[in-house]
Structure 1
Amino acid sequence: MAEEVLSGGNMEVVVRVGDTVRRVAGEWTPSVQAWLTAIRGSGVEQVPEPRGSDIEGREVLSYLPGSTLDRAEPAVLWSSAVLEQAGRLLRRIHDAEVPPALASGVWRTQRHDPVEVICHNDFAPYNLLVDGERLVGVIDFDMASPGPRIWDLAYLAYRLAPFAEDADGFDEVQAKGSESRMTRLHRVIDAYGVPYEASAVLATAVERLEELAAFTDARAMETERTDLVAHAAMYRRDAQRLRHRLQRPAR
C-alpha cells in the first residue's frame, strides 16, 4: 500500500499506510507498546492501538482520525473546553493500571523522580487530535518515560495556558474576552483533578524547559538543523519569563 508521510515526526519520519501508522522502532518500543496496551485496557480509546511491527522492522500503530490541535482555529485551540478536556484526558492516561515492571523498563528518555506514573513527555497541541472542539486523541508516545504526574501537567500548562512564546493567536482571542493565562492554568489543574499549587506547576515547567532546551541543542548539533537552535533559545526565554512570574507577589 502507498505510504503517506505525516506532518510532525520531529525525531524520525512517520508514515501512514492504510489505517496504520509506521514509525522507527527502537529498544524502547516494547515498553511503549505495553503501556499503550495497558492504557487501552483501562478504557482509554483515545490512544493508538499497538499492532506489532512490519517486515521492515518499523513499529505499527493504529491510525487515529482527527486533526492536530495546533492547526485548529485560535478560537478552538485556546478554548476553555479543549483545555479542560486535555487535563481530564491526561489524568485518565496517568491513572491507567500498568504492569509494575514498566517503571524499570527501557525507555527512550530519562526517568524523573519521584516516579508516580508513565509520562507522555510531550502532551501538547501538536500531539493532540480534535474533531471540532472535541478532543479525540493523543499521539506520539515514543518519548515517554516514568516520572511524576506534575512533569506532564506542567508541560501541558506551558503549551495550553499558554506560557509559550509561540502561542500564536492567543493574545487576539484573549482580547475578545478569553480568560487570563493564570486563570487558564488553574482551570487545567482543576480539570486534571490533583490540587497542585500553581507555583509548583510553573516551577516544574521551568525545570522541564531547561531540560528540553539542552535536549534540543544536542539534537540541533546532531542534525545540523538551525530551526532547532531557535527552538532551544525560545525554551530558555520562556523559562526565564516563568522565573520572573514566580518572583512576583501573589495576588
Structure 2
Amino acid sequence: MPTDGTPAPAATYDEPAGPQPEIPLIGGDVTEGVVRVGDTVRRPTGAHTPLVHALLRHLEDTGFAGAPRLLGIDAAGREVLTYVTGEVAARPRPAWIADEDRLASVGRLVRAYDDAAAGFTPPDGVRAPSGPTPPAEMPPAPPYPAELIGHMDLTPDNIVFRDGEAAVLIDFDLARPVSRVDEIHNAMLYWAPLGDPADADPPLRDVDVPRRCRVLADAYGLSGTDRGRLLEVAVLRARRAWFSMKRMAETEGGGWARMWHEGVGDRIKRREAWLERHGPSVEAALTAP
C-alpha cells in the first residue's frame, strides 16, 4: 500500500500463453463491454473501481466464497475477475425464479455477504462515487445510518445459483454504504418483487408478494426493528428513484438513458402507487409472529 494510505492498484494480470476468444456476457442493464476470456471475466474500470477492488480483496481475505476473485488488470486496462460457473435467472426469466426455496437461499446469501462486508473499512481516500448532484426537489433518503458497504444491485442477473441454491454475487459496481434494511429492501425489490404486478416478469406476476418478503426477511434473519422500517424505506426509495434515474439518464447516458426511454420512470411511479395500496399487507406479513 502506498505511504499516503491509498490502496495499491490491482496488479497487472499475467495472461496465459496462446490466444483466447472474447465472449460477450449480456444480462445487466448498464455495464457494457463485459466479456469472458477463458476462465476469467473482463470488465471496464471506472470511478467505482477502487472501492470495489478493496472490497473484493477484503471478501477474499475473510474467506467469503460468494464473490468472484480479483485477479488484476489486463493490458487493455480492464479488471480481471474469476469466471463464476452456475446459472442466473437471465431474461426471459425462468420459471424457477418463483421457487420459494431458491428465494430463501437468496436471503441467506445476502446475509452472509453483509456479515462479511460489515468488517470492511474502505481505505483512506476510497469511497463510493457520489454520482450527479441530486435535484433540490428530490425527496429525503431514509434516515438510518450506514452499517456496511452493501451490494445494492441484487437483480436476478447478479446472483449465480448452483444446485438450486444462491451461491455467488457478481457485479459490485453499485456497492456503497447502506443500512441492512436498505440492502434487504433491494433484494425484495427484484425477488418479491415489490411493485405493480403488471411490471413483474411473467413467472412473478401472480405470486404472493407479502409472503415472499417474509421468506426473504426470515432467511436473512432481519431484525424486528428493521422489519418495522422496511415499508418506510421502500416508499422513500421509490420516491427518490424517479429523480435519481432521470438524472442518471441525463448525465450518464448509455444504459441509464435506454432504461429511462423504455419507461423505467413510469414503472417507478406505479411501484410507489402499489406500495401505497399494498404496503400495509407487506408490513403485516413481515411483522406477524
Structure 1 gaps, min length 5 = 175-179
Mapped partners of 1:84, 1:142: distance in 2: 24
1:102 Cα deviation (Å)? 4.8
1:245 aligns with 2:269: no
Q: Quick one: which amino acid aligns to residue 89 of structure 1?
A: L
Q: Percent identity?
A: 29
User: What count of residue pairs does the alignment treat as equivalent?
Assistant: 244
Instruction: Tell me what 2:238 maps to.
Output: 209
1:130 Cα deviation (Å)? 1.8
Deviations 1:49-95 (A, max 9, x none): 01121112111111111222244522x10111111111111111111
Structure 2 gaps, min length 5 = 1-19, 132-140
C-alpha change, 1:215 and 1:35, in structure 2 (3 Å) is: same
Instruction: Tell me what 1:177 maps to.
Output: none
TM, length-normalised to structure 1: 0.85
Does 109-118 or 148-157 show the bigger shift? 109-118
TM, length-normalised to structure 2: 0.75
Post-superposition, which runs of at least 4 consecutive aligned residues in structure 1 deviate over 6 A? Answer: none
Instruction: Tell me what 1:181 maps to.
Output: 209
Mapped partners of 1:244, 1:154: distance in 2: 18
Mapped partners of 1:26, 1:201: distance in 2: 32
Q: Quick one: which amino acid aligns to residue 2 of structure 1?
A: P
C-alpha change, 1:250 and 1:22, in structure 2 (3 Å) is: closer
Judge conservation of contact 2:56–2:70 (CA < 8 Å) in 1: yes
Q: Which has the larger radius of gyration?
A: 2
Judge conservation of contact 1:39–1:98 (CA < 8 Å) in 2: no
1:134 aligns with 2:155: no
Relative contact order, CA 8 A, sep 6+: which one is greater?
2
1:38 Cα deviation (Å)? 1.6
Instruction: Tell me what 2:204 maps to.
Output: 170
Mapped partners of 1:63, 1:206: distance in 2: 36
Does 57-66 or 91-100 show the bigger shift? 91-100
1:223 aligns with 2:253: yes
Mapped partners of 1:250, 1:107: distance in 2: 34
C-alpha change, 1:158 and 1:104, in structure 2 (3 Å) is: farther
- The within-5 A match list for 1:20-99 is 20-71=40-91, 72-74=93-95, 76-96=96-116, 98-99=119-120
